[in-house]
Amino acid sequence: MVNNNKVQISVLSNIRKVMKIMLVSVSILAACGLIAFGVLLARSPGKMRPLLDENGNTIPGSISEKIHVNINGLEQGMIIKSKDPSNPVLLFLHGGPGMPEYFLTEQYPTGLENDFTVVWWDQRGAGLSFTDDMSSVTINQIIDDTLAVTNYLRERFGKEKIYLMGHSGGSFFGIQAAARAPEYYYAYIGMGQIAFQLKSETMAYPYMLEQFKQIGNTKMVKKLEAAAPTLTGPLPAEYAAIRDDAMHSLGIGTTRDMKSVITGLFFPSLKFREYTLSEKINLWRGKINSSRHLRNDVFAVDLTQQITQLDLPVYFFHGKYDLTCSYSLAKTFLEGIEAPEKGFYTFEESAHSPVFEEPEKAMQILLRDVVKGEFSLADME
């Protein structure tokens, strides 16, 4: 009987010790969580940084603002940056679907605001334009929104026309907006231009599979082989889940040097001080919702069959290492478009985002060719 009591006491003592350890662990985790939340909140004032001169003073008359405008019945957000509002207006359509890119300018400054009034508009359902109701987030609606934002900017800045730049998923909407209303734009610039995204995926797949075999990454090889994409329907969920990680690890994703979505996009967005905490949360809520809602619809459209003529100058900026949106498909796409003038520009050190990766070259092309309506720096035929 005595021994049984001793055993019971010993068991109870051990249980108390375990519970104490668990309580301490939970307390430490909670404290760490509160500290992390406090740090994140402190890094999220959401105030726009002014544009400064060489002496650190705000440039008189410059614009650095975050605004919301009613666009086709929904309050939509945009960030406008300009050293001189009389400069040409450039509307930037972000990729995704649903992935605003303005926060990337902290790590990858573009310099666009020096010579343009650049407008980083967050498309319906994304970022500053987040909405829980995705019923109105459709391909046609985003194209209509693009034209409405264009007219808002034309009226606000007193411009007959503006420049339109579409990146990745934004290029899908941008080139269709340019086709619908070429009279609104001096030129269309497609960066990482989508042609037929399902085909692009099936072209990237064997390249990635072979690269992972060569470097001995058997884990990724098995994942890719189990999730092979096809052209017969939506991308398999298994492939979509590993696609971005696979591309970034091989340097064919967002930028050549970006090795993962977490370190290259997620963490930088959390650290970005010009977004509030709620804006950061909505950035990723919008990305998730938009991808689920629009990705398959966007990927299934073969733009090479829909866009064969554009009644304005067309410029394609494409990174040599871009397999996110196929370099070769984009080049063939442009060759098949009838336009007053057109030019293809290869960025030798870039993957999917030349304006972020090679900003000096991008600005040189914009100022020497695009603004002047020339093509002197385009690739030789």
* Whether 161 contacts 167, CB under 8 Å: no
Q: Are residues 277 and 157 in the same domain?
A: yes
| % of the chain at pLDDT higher than 90 | 83
In a domain, 208, yes or no: no
Give the residue ranges of DSSP H helices in 109-196.
112-115, 139-157, 169-180
Any long-range contacts for 369-373 (C-beta under 8 Å, 24+ apart)? 369/315, 369/343, 370/163, 370/187, 370/189, 370/313, 370/315, 371/88, 371/115, 371/186, 373/186, 373/187, 373/313, 373/341
Q: How does pLDDT run across 187-209, given as a tens digit for each residue?
A: 999 999 999 999 999 999 999 99
In a domain, 235, yes or no: no
Q: Are residues 67 and 13 in the same domain?
A: no
Q: Are residues 126 and 76 in the same domain?
A: yes
Question: How is residue 367 annotated by DSSP?
Answer: I
Q: What pLDDT, on the 0 to 100 scale, is given for residue 332?
A: 98
- Contact partners, residue 220, CB within 8 Å, separation at least 6: 212, 242, 246, 249
Check residues 6 and 268 and name the one with the higher pLDDT.
268
Q: Is the pLDDT of residue 8 over 70?
A: no
Q: Are residues 191 and 306 in the same domain?
A: yes
293: buried, middle or exposed (CB in 10 Å: 19+, 13-18, 0-12)?
middle
Q: Is the pLDDT of residue 52 over 80?
A: yes
Task: Give me the chain's average pLDDT, please.
Answer: 91
Question: How is residue 65 annotated by DSSP?
Answer: E
Mean pLDDT across 266-272: 95
In a domain, 234, yes or no: no
In a domain, 126, yes or no: yes
In a domain, 243, yes or no: no
In a domain, 144, yes or no: yes
Confidence tier at 235 by pLDDT (50, 70, 90) = confident
Q: pTM (2 decimals)?
A: 0.90
Residue 30's domain comprises: 1-42
Q: Are residues 22 and 93 in the same domain?
A: no
Six token digits for residue 376: 């002197």
Q: How far is CA 300 from CA 41, 176, 187, 346, in A?
A: 40, 15, 26, 26
Six token digits for residue 256: 């050549």
Q: How does pLDDT run across 138-190, given as a tens digit for each residue?
A: 999 999 999 999 999 999 999 999 999 999 999 999 999 999 999 999 999 99
Q: Within 10 A of 37 (CB to CB), how many other CB atoms are there?
A: 11
Q: Are residues 35 and 93 in the same domain?
A: no
Q: Are residues 9 and 108 in the same domain?
A: no
Q: Are residues 69 and 139 in the same domain?
A: yes
Q: Are residues 350 and 289 in the same domain?
A: yes
Q: Are residues 37 and 68 in the same domain?
A: no
- Contact partners, residue 364, CB within 8 Å, separation at least 6: 377
Say which CATH number the domain at 353 has. 3.40.50.1820
Domains held by the chain: number:
2
| % of the chain at pLDDT higher than 70 | 88
